[in-house]
Structure 1
């Protein structure tokens, strides 16, 4: 083993709001683990503040927000604002997975989301995006 080996990428897969559909979150959690990432799953029905706290406390590299409820324009910016308050925004890659209409995507990216992956996105595409864009904090 060389001293060049990097620690695993740490990810928080978070379900925000009242969205009770978590099959996709479980699938992505498994795929991320299979790719060698350390993954923490938030569980269902988390408030934006709880997700911010978990992101900061767990010192994650990637926050994956799974949302299917349609409340993404309200909840996701609240999470981003919370991360900014804790100075955790710059070091955290923020991705959103779920159903986000095309007309809402630009606003979320302007709010600070790095990428949005809709239903049917190949797992490898998401994993490669993370590997190419994560900020290393070794």
Structure 2
């Protein structure tokens, strides 16, 4: 069984592998397959990883099929938004789009979701101490 840590590292490296595949001649099967799989799955998988962690904290879970569909939908949506941003600024190139998507995927895949709860809990404790403590008269 593959450990989640290695899956996170593989997901983070997938975008840079797709970017490296652009050095291959255009239209070759490895370049097409690597880019297609990355654009179809990886940005959405990184985004759903963050959302799934939030759902777990609220004691809810997505089914496997729901998670798969959400992953593909988010991946295509994120890719379309990034490409549209470059198109609207008249600076579109596939390489730029892949760089932004690879960076997003790496950041989202490596983001420590376990520490968010600790930070939020300590922030809430600090705010409650500031605003809910009674001042001596």
> Would you call these one fold, judging by a TM-score over 0.5?
no
TM range (shorter): under 0.3
Larger relative contact order (Cα-Cα within 8 Å, sequence gap ≥ 6): 2
Structure having the higher Rg: 2
Q: Which has the higher strand share?
A: 1
- Using structure 1 for the length normalisation, give the TM-score: 0.25
- Using structure 2 for the length normalisation, give the TM-score: 0.26
